[in-house]
Amino acid sequence: MKVTASPRRYLMCRPTYFAVTYRINPWMDPTAPYDSALAVRQWESLRQTYLDLGHTVDEIDPLPGLPDMVFAANGATTVDGRVLGVQFRDAERADEAPAYASWFRERGFVVTMPKHTNEGEGDILLAGDVLLAGTGFRTSHASHAETQEVLRRPVITLQLVDPNYYHLDTALCVLDETNVAYLPSAFSPGSQAVLQQLFPHAVIADAQDAAVLGLNAVSDGRTVVLPVQATHLDAELRKAGYETVGVDVSELRKAGGGPKCCTLEVRS
């Protein structure tokens, strides 16, 4: 299999105010220790990885009181220069939405704010000509029609069923325009059937990969940046013809995030 890379533009947010002080997903434990300085160092290493791969990285200024703002993927969805803003399910993250919308507006993008709960690229992933859209825990099913209208791409609904994988980007990674990696058990039987039909050559992750957020990975079409702990998935990706770069973002995982959570693709 021949795979090719294309340069990407990413938006990231330094975890200056990273903390785990509330619980809005199964990964978070406010009673457990966390190291904000380590989170920053791991994030900086991820950012440098993208630069080393030849990608462009923009940064949005972090805001105090928003410890999850580091998870930039939840800030918007952009396709062909169109930007769909976000509406978070949880009040703790609500103020991130206008911050990300302002970043895009200040750079000349027209931003449409959603009427329904929609957590950006956490649940909406561009795969070739279609958008894969997760629902079940965060992004509402009603938002999928809105997403299609705003971004003007066909939307395929995928039902998430495992609360540990509450966002689509924790259970599925788009590898290139024609293929994905995913954890079948994170999806309903009907959605598994759809994925099998759409992506017959998909890379299948196992439970151990998912448990370290291995599928919360970022691909440029050739190189997949994924948590270094996801050793089985790493081997399967290489077997399928992809190159891999392992990164350690384990401190950020304490809030339920991996490389993809930290990375919003800007498609002008």
Alpha-helical segments (H) within 109-239: 142-151, 189-198, 207-211, 231-239
Which of 119, 147, 158, 155 shows the shortest CA–CA distance to 257? 119
Q: Which residues contact 133 (CB under 8 A, 6 or more apart)?
A: 123, 124, 125, 139, 143, 144, 147, 155, 156, 157, 158, 168
| Phi/psi-derived region of residue 120, left when phi > 0, alpha when psi is between -120 and 50, beta in every other case | left
Which of 177, 135, 131 shows the shortest CA–CA distance to 156? 131
Question: What are the angstrom distances between the C-alpha of 183 and each of 167, 203, 215, 264?
Answer: 12, 9, 8, 22
Answer for the pair 139, 118: CB distance below 8 angstroms, yes or no. Answer: yes
Burial of 231 (0-12, 13-18, 19+ CB in 10 A): middle
Q: Three-class SS of residue 129? A: coil
| Tokens read off for 198 | 């759409």
Tell me, rounded to whole angstroms, the distance of Cα 139 from its chain centroid.
13
Bridge partner list, 10: 57, 265
Q: Which residues are catalytic?
A: 167, 261
